[in-house]
Structure 1
């Protein structure tokens, strides 16, 4: 199960970083070949693809006796949003408002509630109380997409609000998110990847690393950094704590990605063609 999730997660990474820039369609044989580089076998790739299709992220088409897979509209929107957040250059500007989403989903539709919670966390909402979620970011578009996807308009109330107290916006942030934990994760990332970055920079400069190795390292880097989308709510600068490490982690990610990108893309193209 864990392996399948990792395969699925790596497929998302490949679509986000490569396939969507190449017409968004790939032959399943090519995808299997790319994922072999990470130690995933054909069976786990086919199982993950099937699951992603059932969940509405991918769609298939037959050309002759070959199967090709592309992102659905829902998949494209998710990749677009993820990419904006992964490759962002700075924290978002804040308009001083809070978006507030309240839901009352009946017990009989509990699975919907669980799905919605996961999606809200991914988008950067924080839980103020059990069914009241807030964010300082303008996520109206994402909310409308969620409501449409799960067909839950009758259970959702959405506000664009001003916070009038009784404490400070920073206290509100601390109530909804554990930024100390997120900062600790950034610290671990910086420690592990700055070391790897200097080793690989040396290898690249000496020409002692293959395109295939760069491809694996580059996709693994994105794969690892992408995990922050599930924990970092991407808050505006004025709401972040002192000694926030998110920007340092982003700068390291950007430098490392740039180092590996050209040879990694060369390898992808050799398999993709």
Structure 2
């Protein structure tokens, strides 16, 4: 869910193995009680062009971060999603696959905070979380987002346990200043445009390849779909669904969203069939397979 450092560099669009594993678990593990055998993860990561050593190393990092926990099922070594990871993925589902673009009628959500210097680590955590959620910065200690993010933001702030330093308000723009100018000041729209451009440039050829010829089979659809979802995941967070009438006339976020939806409809089914062919037998005679 982290943003690429240079959105105009095509190489930056290649997803790290750790993010690909998060996508694998989010897309396919939850129908297997959140668990996948190590053998299955390594096999599926190989289909994504990741070697076994890099896959195992990434799994270990996710375990250290508290997102995966090791456990055996029917004697097979594997990793399951932690409760924290399940919550994160559930929230991500709504943002990634069910995002609704805001309108002015939704109003705005303001988060105002003042964290003492003695707790600067918690202040950094708060700023990082607000950035991850797609908030813009009005002034030091005053952050803003479309009003539709209220429930998600409240849950995130409760997890940080920092309520004694934070207040959350619903607001509307009443007077003074052009709201379009304000949005340009509060969010880095050029950066967002560059992220969308990178996604479009990478996946428009994928759409053209399969709309002009035969539809993809599972082996071809699986890597294309998992990589696309991984690349897309950051975009609905970087752009929190800002109202279209406050964005530049050449805004390319809508084209990127339509491209994502079209490719998802085309690829998700055969990609899932490919993954299930690997995952369904994962507990049968899997002990010692790795």
Question: Please, what TM-score do these two structures have when normalized by structure 1?
Answer: 0.84
Q: CA deviation at 1:55?
A: 2.8
CA distance in 1, matches of 2:255, 2:131: 23
CA distance in 2, matches of 1:35, 1:110: 39
Q: CA deviation at 1:272?
A: 0.6
Give the conservation status (yes or no) of the 8 Å contact 1:201–1:259. Answer: no
Q: CA deviation at 1:134?
A: 0.8
Asked whether 1:118 is paired with 2:116, we answer no
Give the direction of change, closer, same or farther, for the CA distance of 1:90–1:98 in structure 2 (3 Å limit): closer
Q: Which residue of 2 is the match for residue 240 of structure 1? A: 247
Q: CA deviation at 1:127?
A: 1.3
**Which residue of 39, 58, 64 maps to 1:54?**
64
Q: Which residue of 1 is the match for residue 172 of structure 2? A: 162
Question: Please, what TM-score do these two structures have when normalized by structure 2?
Answer: 0.80
Cα displacement string for residues 68-118 of structure 1 (whole angstroms, at most 9, x for unaligned residues):
333333322322232223223752355343211122233344333333222
Q: Matches of residues 99-248 of structure 1 in structure 2 within 5 Å? A: 99-205=109-215, 210-248=217-255
Give the conservation status (yes or no) of the 8 Å contact 1:122–1:229. Answer: no
CA distance in 2, matches of 1:210, 1:148: 44
What number of residue pairs does the alignment pair up?
A: 268
Give the gaps of 5 or more residues in structure 2.
5-14, 281-290
Give the conservation status (yes or no) of the 8 Å contact 2:106–2:147. Answer: no
Give the conservation status (yes or no) of the 8 Å contact 1:137–1:235. Answer: no
Q: CA deviation at 1:269?
A: 0.6
Give RMSD over aligned pairs: 2.7
CA distance in 2, matches of 1:201, 1:22: 32
Asked whether 1:25 is paired with 2:35, we answer yes
**Which residue of 245, 249, 262 maps to 1:255?**
262
User: Higher RCO, 1 or 2 (CA under 8 Å, sep at least 6)?
Assistant: 2
Cα displacement string for residues 162-204 of structure 1 (whole angstroms, at most 9, x for unaligned residues):
3334313222211110223312332342233222211233453
The farther-off stretch of 86-95 and 160-169 is 86-95
Give the direction of change, closer, same or farther, for the CA distance of 1:112–1:38 in structure 2 (3 Å limit): farther
Give the gaps of 5 or more residues in structure 1.
none
